[in-house]
């Protein structure tokens, strides 16, 4: 197996939904149910505040859906929760079945030495985020890989939502 194919496989291990979406997205007849155009995350941790109030995160997301752009903001208990909440504000209006989707597992790992110079290790390494989603009938895994943990996390959420909608032709 070629080195780059091996690297792709290990990045996708446990994330078959992302792997299948990569194939589906290459088809000429595939219509993306939505596109995330931009995401801004403002995260603040106050270690002097009471434990339940230490983390305050706001996410602003710009999504293109049915040819229109919608901008929305939401708060959450950390960046993943905030982005998920913001995306759902827009997407659940158009796709109510997304309210069934639950994020069950979320795993972050550093990918030392994969596609980078030797200096890019430790906190500078690529990040692989693996997420497991479910609804009332199935479970699926998605993956995001980026130099930035937030970008990799958003990629996982996008794939998790898009996987649920893969059979929709509402455009």
Residue ranges per domain, the chain?
A: 1-31+101-171, 34-94
User: What is the Cα–Cα distance from 165 to 101, expressed in whole angstroms?
Assistant: 11
Mean pLDDT, residues 104-133 taken together: 78
Residue 156 in contact with residue 144, Cβ under 8 Å?
A: yes
Task: Supply the pLDDT for residue 94.
Answer: 95
CA distances (Å), origin 83, targets 38, 119, 153: 11, 31, 9
Q: Is 55 helix (H, G, I), strand (E, B) or coil?
A: strand
Other CB atoms within 10 A of residue 52 CB: 7
pLDDT at 118: 52
Does this chain's domain 1-31+101-171 share its CATH topology with 34-94?
yes
Mean pLDDT in the chain? 85
- List all residues 6 or more positions away from 123 whose beta carbon is below 8 Å from its beta carbon: 110
Q: Return the CATH fold of 1-31+101-171.
A: Double Stranded RNA Binding Domain (3.30.160)
Mean pLDDT confidence for 75-89: 94
Residue 56 confidence (pLDDT) = 83
| Residue 166 pLDDT | 86
Stated pTM of the model: 0.83
* Beta strands across the sheet bearing 139-146: 102-111, 126-134, 139-146
pLDDT band at 4 (very low <50, low <70, confident <90, very high): low
Which of 145, 64, 142 lies closest to 110 in space, CA to CA? 145
Cα torsion 162, 165, 166, 171: sign: negative
Model confidence at 169: pLDDT above 70 = no
| Percentage, residues of the chain above pLDDT 90 | 59
Please list the alpha-helical segments (H only) found in the chain: 3-12, 16-25, 79-94, 149-164
21 in Cβ contact with 162 (< 8 Å):
yes
Burial of 157 by CB count in 10 Å (0-12 exposed, 13-18 middle, 19+ buried)?
Answer: buried
Reply yes or no on whether the pLDDT at 8 is more than 50: yes
pLDDT at 115 over 80: no
pLDDT digits (tens, 9 = 90+) for 11-65: 556 788 998 998 899 999 888 999 999 999 998 877 887 877 777 899 999 999 9
Instruction: Check if CATH label 3.30.160 holds for domain 34-94.
Output: yes
What was the pLDDT predicted at 6?
45
| Gap between the Cα atoms of 87 and 144, Å rounded | 17
State the pLDDT at residue 45.
78
């Amino acid at each position: 197996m070629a080195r780059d194919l091996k690297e792709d496989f290990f990045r996708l291990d446990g994330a078959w939904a992302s792997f299948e979406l990569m194939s589906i997205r290459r088809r000429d007849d595939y219509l993306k149910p939505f596109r995330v155009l931009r995401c801004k995350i403002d995260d603040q941790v106050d270690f002097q505040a009471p434990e339940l109030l230490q983390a305050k995160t706001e996410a602003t997301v710009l999504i293109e859906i049915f040819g229109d752009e919608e901008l929305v903001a939401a708060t959450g208990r950390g960046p993943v929760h905030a982005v998920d909440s913001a995306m759902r504000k827009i997407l659940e209006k158009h796709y109510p079945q997304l309210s069934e989707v639950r994020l069950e597992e979320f795993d972050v790992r550093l990918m030392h030495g994969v596609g980078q110079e030797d200096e890019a290790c430790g906190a500078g390494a690529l990040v692989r985020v693996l997420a497991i989603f479910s609804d009332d009938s199935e479970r699926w895994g998605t993956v995001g890989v980026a130099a930035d943990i937030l970008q990799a996390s958003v990629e996982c959420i996008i794939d998790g939502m898009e996987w649920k909608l893969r059979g929709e032709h509402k455009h």
